[in-house]
Structure 1
Amino acid sequence: MSQAAGTFALAGVNLPDLPEQIVTTPQELAACCEYLTGQRQFGFDTEFVGEDTYHPRLCLVQVATNERLILIDPLTVGPLDAFWKLVVDPANQVVVHAGREEVRLCRLWTGSIPGNLFDLQIAAGLVGLAYPLGHAVLVNQVLGVQITKGETLTEWRDRPLTPQQIRYAFDDVRYLLPVWDALAQRLGKLGRLDWAREEFARLAAVAAPEEPVAEKWRKLRGLGSLDRRRLAIVRELSRWREGVAAQTNRPARTIVRDDLLVEIARRNPTRERDLSVIRGLRRRDVAAILHVVQQARGLALEECPKVIEREQDQPQLALITNVLTAVQGDFCARNHLAANLVANGQDVRLLVRAAMQGAAPPEDSLLSQGWRRQHVLPHLLAILEGRSSLRITDVGAEAPFTITEA
């Protein structure tokens, strides 16, 4: 594995003042997109409001090139199809910071994800900075520039925008390309550009999955006490709720709360009167809910979801997981990686559980995939299988262990 000595630092960064443009008309948008067509790298951010609707309302688009900074007002410029076309074009390097929401918006409006994404937050973790780093902290650590984040909870739907909002919006993209340039160079020196591309693709897949709504209900609390038929009720109610929410553009939680989906299934009502005693249900939805429950109750047993049995782990699993997590942290410190980007506790736990069962490393653990499988997993397996041993040699060091072949 490629390594680098010292800490991440930049010297002599030249940050020119760039012209700033606010795009508010269809004609200005057309000219802006024509300009961006000639730019093969641009930074991209959005401001949106999603608390009151099923689909977030896009309120502002911020773009940065090496030549200018641009704010696009989606409330006045009309359809953004031409802009989104540029975002999904794989010939364009699109730079974001913590771009999960930008990926989701792109999928929502185009049906596709950005074609060539670079996420600064992920890249920072792959070169040894902390993960996840906020935008202001990352800019400061890479460029030595202090910026403020005073408008995070501002009302972006109101017009006209205040001078403070405009300054905040420009600053959100002002430093994206300089930070990108620095991190991309660092990734290249470490030989991790392929790792980064793998991580960016995973971000896009996780942020905008083509996941059927039917699977989301499994994350609800309180399912452990329900049998298969009642689980079917939860699943069908969840599907119905998502459909109503999308049709009316309202948050799903305002249709029926999560806890009420489980409570309805637990009661397994047969009459509208059975639902009337549940606080929090809207009366106008009672007939529709009962209809969904009746349909779920009519399913054949093999069509109902299976009860997922909770694994009963042996006591030593937690102890071994803690040791292996410490080994991972030591490894990441030595190799300039953010440990919590490499794997979380559940990934390590799955690995240990498989070893205790005499099974191969599980495919659903991040440690079994891509660059982690090649560069990180072998070091953990060497400890787990007793082929290497560790001892504490320097309690004052960021990487305090010495690992030797057993």
Structure 2
Amino acid sequence: MSTEASPLMIDQNAELADWCKQWLQLPYVAVDTEFVRTETYFPIPGLIQIGDGERAFMIDPLAITDWSPLVELLESPSVVKVLHACSEDLEVFQHLCGALPAPLFDTQLAAAFLGMDFSMGYSRLVSDLLGIELAKEETRSDWLQRPLSARQLQYAADDTIHLAAIYRILAPRIEAAGLTDWLLEDTAEMVANARTLVEPAQAYRRIKQAWRLKPAELAVLQVLCEWRERQARQRDQARNRLLRESTLCPLVQRQPDSLQQLARFEDMHPRTVRQDGQTIIELIQQARAIPPAQWPEPVPEPLPADANRLLKTLRKVGQRHAERLGMASEIVLRKKVLEALVRTGYPCGPYSLPAELTGWRRELMGEELLALANQFSSRGQPA
């Protein structure tokens, strides 16, 4: 690993095209992004970093206008793209150039596959594998300022240099453990999910307390959430800047019919009342008129405490496989998959495998989980 060469700033289309041609010849590139997302719906990219294993390159998204060479690199099947905990990076690329990195090697996921830890932070991974303590002062920098400071550039460059070094350590370990296909299957699923924006009509299902609402109130929530989602995208404003989530459930329960009533809600920003208050009141009135046959699907309640015995029994299956494979148990059998399985038949069964249990996990332990769940329900106790 060499960090002697200073990072190269790329701010010309032709220059980016030339470098992308060279990167297309490599087996892998390390990729990172710096972005700002305080009041916008979409992340605003401030810097794209590429590391070739020896040197770091800084691509200036405020100057580049032709992203087609980078799209070719991101989508090239012969070049592995190495990122860490990359869900937000994927959003950056999707919005910036409509392309996503594939094949993708996520070093956080790889660490979990190797049993190092689940959801391991980048700084700790660098410390554990490379013995380097990272400075933290630039993590909340203004990446849209120009010129970027020398410290910012060095911080961004170090990220991709270290990321490449981590990949050279983790990739052979993953291969030796026979886990490469499983890891790439998981990251391909991450990429597929990143392509899909939430359907505005289904946005109400993401509201944490929605399950507490009555069916008629849920109809109002659906209308407000659909409007909020569409407007957030159209205006490129954060959802909570338009209408805070904490006010949504109280709003649909009390259903104000004047701006004065709306303004009295706790957490209701005066800006929301001023800019969109009348619209919100009209939307509530429209939603009240929706006939019961058109009310949305209810949001499932949290599983009752009684389900914990079954969840615990099923969780042991994942733990057993994780121990045998040397993987983090949380990655082998995810909580949301467990809960989805229990929901298919709780409390008395019969159970079925949920759509959330896919790929290698379904093949590895699907039948075992299903048999155990059905045995549990028939006996009322662990098998």
Amino acid corresponding to residue 369 of structure 1 in structure 2 = T
CA RMSD of aligned residues (A): 2.9
* TM-score in terms of structure 1 length: 0.80
CA deviation profile, 1:296-328 (whole Å, cap 9, x unmatched): 23333222213345376473x313433443553
Structure 2 residues without counterparts, runs of 5 or longer: 377-382
- SS of the residue corresponding to residue 175 of structure 1 reads helix
Amino acid corresponding to residue 307 of structure 1 in structure 2 = P
Amino acid corresponding to residue 289 of structure 2 in structure 1 = G
Rate the CA distance shift 1:376–1:179 in 2: closer, same or farther, 3 A: farther
Q: Which of 279, 283, 290 is 2:281 aligned to?
A: 290
Tell me whether 1:348 sits opposite 2:372 in the alignment: no
Where do residues 4-403 of structure 1 align in structure 2 (5 Å cutoff)?
Answer: 15-17=1-3, 19=5, 20-272=7-259, 274-278=261-265, 279-280=268-269, 281-308=272-299, 310=301, 313=304, 315=306, 317-326=307-316, 328-351=318-341, 354=345, 357-365=348-356, 368-377=357-366
The answer to whether the 8 Å contact 1:39/1:92 transfers is yes
* TM-score in terms of structure 2 length: 0.85
C-alpha separation in 2, matches of 1:159 and 1:191: 46
Structure 1 residues without counterparts, runs of 5 or longer: 1-14, 388-405
Show the counterpart of 1:397: none
Amino acid corresponding to residue 71 of structure 1 in structure 2 = M
The answer to whether the 8 Å contact 2:217/2:252 transfers is yes
C-alpha separation in 1, matches of 2:305 and 2:327: 31
The answer to whether the 8 Å contact 2:13/2:65 transfers is yes
Rate the CA distance shift 1:140–1:309 in 2: closer, same or farther, 3 A: closer
C-alpha separation in 2, matches of 1:276 and 1:145: 52
Cα displacement (A) at 1:225: 4.1
Rate the CA distance shift 1:260–1:378 in 2: closer, same or farther, 3 A: same
Amino acid corresponding to residue 321 of structure 1 in structure 2 = L
The answer to whether the 8 Å contact 1:150/1:168 transfers is no
- SS of the residue corresponding to residue 76 of structure 1 reads coil
CA deviation profile, 1:254-274 (whole Å, cap 9, x unmatched): 111113232332223445555
265-274 or 295-304, larger mean C-alpha shift: 265-274
C-alpha separation in 1, matches of 2:133 and 2:300: 51
Show the counterpart of 2:379: none
- Give the percent of matched residue pairs that are identical in Structure 1 and Structure 2: 28
Show the counterpart of 1:391: none
Rate the CA distance shift 1:351–1:53 in 2: closer, same or farther, 3 A: closer
Rate the CA distance shift 1:79–1:261 in 2: closer, same or farther, 3 A: farther
C-alpha separation in 2, matches of 1:309 and 1:100: 26
| Aligned residue pair count | 371
- SS of the residue corresponding to residue 188 of structure 2 reads helix
